[in-house]
Amino acid sequence: MSHLVESDGGDRKRAKVERSSLDQLKDYTVIVADTGEFSAIKQFSPQDATTNPSLILKAAMIPEYVHLVDAAVAYAKEALASGAIGEDGVLALALDKVAVNFGVEISKIVPGYVSIEVDARLSFDTLATVERARRIISLAKEMGVDKSKILIKVAATYEGIRAGEILEREDGIHCNLTLVFSLIQAAACAEGGITLISPFVGRIMDWYKAKTGTVYTAENDPGVLSVRNIYQYFKKFGYSTIVMGASFRNTGEILALSGCDRLTIAPALLVELQHNYDPLPRHLEPLSAAAAYPGEKLLIDEANFRFQLNEEAMATEKLSEGIRSFAADIGKLEKILQGKF
């Protein structure tokens, strides 16, 4: 790779490269678009795409996507009229159908996985989560999208992880366990045979910054260190679960995780990466990561999971906050749908 030299206004000069940071990052890591807007996904040509209730709510209010919402309402109305579903379940069906409609459209753009999230209000109900996940897969199949293209997205509560384990084992449905803030959550997912986890970076940093007042660099960012630790643990103990860093506040956090299995990145940060041409080394690599993890395998049972999670104030607070936030946005989307019935 040829290098250019660019002056920074002083005596020092820094090497630049001809490929953007985004292109260099793609050498080491699978890039995933974190958005529900189709135009943004097309712009960056990612391998996968993720959605969540907040992104779907935002997209649903954009005029060019209203037809997907209206189609979901029409579908639910028809199911109600035919007796396939009762009054008490029609809104939930419409919500699932909206998420699937967006997911199916996204699946036409990306070659890999599309994450579709189960109603966050079911985060503490294993059986209800499994039931809704199966319906999402069935709705997607009706539209010609196979389950192999979909990751069912569920919050990494104890109940959510159990739901993911059931879906993976009994149905062959791939899952994305989200809102991961601690090693015990990640380890429980790996033991459960979950396809992919989304450990959050920026929200961890937000918590520590608020508590300590510290301004973190990429190298001492608590969120970056958390994902590195999870990656090392998985590689040491030979887990196949994919680690996908999420929830970034700046490009420094992203670049510090180059080499992570996957990174899901919002469009604004993808643009920044496209316009940066600094050389990018690989920070995470399986063999060296496996050697770097110093600890033993964690005990994964319900009691230890709940205790270890309880011991981490940050993880406990951010998991609860994340579920509340997604649940609130689902409620807002539900009101939009309700107004169309």
Is the Cβ–Cβ distance between 116 and 152 less than 8 Å? yes
For 128-233, strand residue ranges (E) read 150-155, 175-180, 196-199
Q: Cα–Cα distance between 107 and 49 in angstroms, integer? A: 8
The single residue of 97, 147, 149, 153 carrying the catalytic annotation is: 153
Q: Which residue's entry shows tokens 């997912």? A: 189
Respond yes or no: is residue 153 known to be catalytic. Answer: yes
27, amino acid identity: D
What pLDDT is attached to residue 141?
98
Q: Alpha-carbon distance 118 to 137, whole Å?
A: 11
Q: pTM surpassing 0.85?
A: yes
Residues in the chain: 341
Residue 8 pLDDT? 47
Structure tokens at 274: 């496209």
Q: Do residues 252 and 205 touch, judged by C-beta distance below 8 A? A: no
pLDDT in single tens digits along all 341 residues of the chain: 434 444 444 444 455 778 999 999 999 999 999 888 888 888 888 999 988 888 888 888 888 889 999 999 999 999 999 999 999 999 999 999 999 999 999 999 999 999 999 999 999 999 999 999 999 999 999 999 999 999 999 999 999 999 999 999 999 999 999 999 999 999 999 999 999 999 999 999 999 999 999 999 999 999 999 999 999 999 999 999 999 999 999 999 999 999 999 999 999 999 999 999 999 999 999 999 999 999 999 999 999 999 999 999 999 999 999 999 999 999 999 999 999 88
Kindly state which CATH superfamily the domain 22-52+112-323 is placed in.
Aldolase class I (3.20.20.70)
The Cα-based distances of 25 to 33, 91, 145, 172, 269 in angstroms read 14, 41, 29, 31, 13
3-state SS, residue 125? coil
SS3 (DSSP) at 157: coil
Distances (CA, A) of 283 to 20, 28, 218, 224: 17, 9, 12, 11
Per domain, the residue ranges of the chain are 22-52+112-323
In whole angstroms, how far apart are CA 100 and each of 121, 146, 192, 237, 304?
Answer: 18, 12, 25, 35, 35
- The DSSP bridge pattern shows strands 3-7 and 13-17 to be antiparallel
Integer CA distances (angstroms), 134 to 144, 216, 311, in order: 15, 42, 34
Contact at 8 Å (CB) between 243 and 264? no
Residue 31: beta bridge partners?
263
